[in-house]
Structure 1
């Protein structure tokens, strides 16, 4: 899944947070939407903090970092 986040000022002192969701098969559409928002920002519109986030719903492991298995023997090798 992809989510595009951005802020809109719309003339008020408080910005409004917005987002748009895209299916995991819609990466191209999410990128195009992000580019549209960034062009609006560059043109001086009240759009800021445009970002694209992704999450793989078919991930085989937990998100983030975890400890290595107990039987894993890591060794640093130098040439």
Structure 2
């Protein structure tokens, strides 16, 4: 899944917005992001445009964790 987040400064406090895209709609998400960035460059009340993704087919849990007890790391440089 892809989500585009942005802020609209039309009010005194601003408004956070988002738009969701399916996992197979990366091209649409990128095009939407580019449209918002062009509006921002033109001086419209759009800021903090970002694209986030989440892979539904991820093998492990998101984030960092300690390695398993049987993991043997070896430095390969002399």
Same fold by TM-score greater than 0.5: yes
In the other structure, the counterpart of 1:7 is: 7
C-alpha offsets along residues 29-59 of structure 1, whole Å, 9 cap, x if unaligned?
Answer: 0000000000000000000000000000111
Q: How well do the aligned residues superpose, as a CA RMSD in angstroms?
A: 0.8
In the other structure, the counterpart of 2:74 is: 75
Q: TM-score, normalised by structure 2?
A: 0.95
Q: TM-score, normalised by structure 1?
A: 0.94
Matched residue pairs, number?
Answer: 78
Q: Secondary structure at the match of 1:30?
A: helix
Q: Secondary structure at the match of 1:18?
A: strand
In the other structure, the counterpart of 2:26 is: 27
Which structure 1 segments of 5+ residues have no match?
A: none
